[in-house]
Structure 1
Amino acid sequence: MSNQTVSVVRLTLFKHSHQSFVAALDEAQIHHERVQLFSTQPQASGIVESISALSDAMPWNSLAKIIIAWIDARKSREVIIQTEDGRVIHAKGYSASDIQKFLPLSVNVTVIDTKPADEI
C-alpha cells in the first residue's frame, strides 16, 4: 500500500477567465473537473474547477507556466493564490518557478479576466 497523498488545486474562475483558462489547461493536457457547489447561503458567482493528482504526479511546473503565460497574454488578467497560512499572493510579476513553490501551499487560486476575449 502506498503512503502518497493526493494534492488538490482549487481554481475559482471569475468574469471572462473561464473559457481561456480552461482552454489553456486542456491544451497542456492537465485534467480538471468542474466542482458543483450547493449552499443555502449566497455564493460568489465564480466557476470552480479542481485539479487533483497523487502528490508526485501533480503537474505543478506545467500549471505554474500556464498561469504566467495566461497572465502575460493580456493586461486585464490576474491570478491570486491564497495559502493555508493566510497569505495572499498576486501572481503578476512572479516567475513560473516562484509560482510553482506557492501552488502546493494553496487553498484557492482565483483566476480573473476583466475583459471579454473579443476586447483588447
Structure 2
Amino acid sequence: MSTQQCALVRFTLFKHSAKSFLAALDNAGISHSPIHMYSAGPQASGFFEGVSALADAMPWNSIAKVMTAWIEARKSREIIIYMDEGKTFHAKGYSASEVEKLLKASTNVVVIDTKPADSE
C-alpha cells in the first residue's frame, strides 16, 4: 500500500478560456480531465477541469509555465489563484517559479479570457 498523497489542481474555466487553456495544457503534454460538480442550489457558470497525479509526479513547473505563457499571450486573460486561508493572487506579472509555489498551496485556480479567440 502506497503512502504517497495525490495532488489535484482544480481549474474553473470562465468565459472564452476553456478551449485555449485546455489546448495549452494538451500542447504541453499535461493530462487533465473534467470535474463534474452537482449541487441542489444555483452555481456560477463555468467549467471545472482537474490535473491530478501522485504528489511527487505532479508536473507543477510545467503547469506554471503553461499558465504564465497563456496569460502573456493576450491582454484579455487573467488567472486567479485561491489559497486555503482565503487569500487570492492574480498570476499576471508573476514568474513561472512564483506561480509554481502558489499552485502547490492552492485550493482553486480561476481561468478567464474575456474575449473570444478570433477577436484579437
TM-score using structure 2 length: 0.98
Q: Which residue of 1 aligns with 2:107?
A: 107
1:68-79 mapped onto 2 (5 Å cutoff): 68-79=68-79
Q: Which residue of 1 aligns with 2:97?
A: 97
CA distance in 2, matches of 1:56, 1:37: 27
User: What is the Cα deviation at residue 62 of structure 1?
Assistant: 0.2
User: What is the Cα deviation at residue 86 of structure 1?
Assistant: 1.3
Gap regions ≥5 residues in structure 1: none
1:24-35 mapped onto 2 (5 Å cutoff): 24-35=24-35
Identity of aligned residues (%): 60
Q: Is the partner of 1:118 in helix, strand or coil? A: helix
Q: Which residue of 2 aligns with 1:4?
A: 4
Q: CA RMSD in A?
A: 0.6
User: What is the Cα deviation at residue 2 of structure 1?
Assistant: 2.5
CA distance in 1, matches of 2:93, 2:75: 12
Gap regions ≥5 residues in structure 2: none
Q: Is the partner of 2:117 in helix, strand or coil? A: coil
1:84-110 CA-to-partner distances (Å, cap 9, x unmatched) read 111100000100000000001000000
**Runs of 4+ that moved beyond 6 A:** none
Q: Which residue of 2 aligns with 1:64?
A: 64
CA distance in 2, matches of 1:87, 1:98: 15
TM-score using structure 1 length: 0.98
Residues paired across the two proteins, number? 120
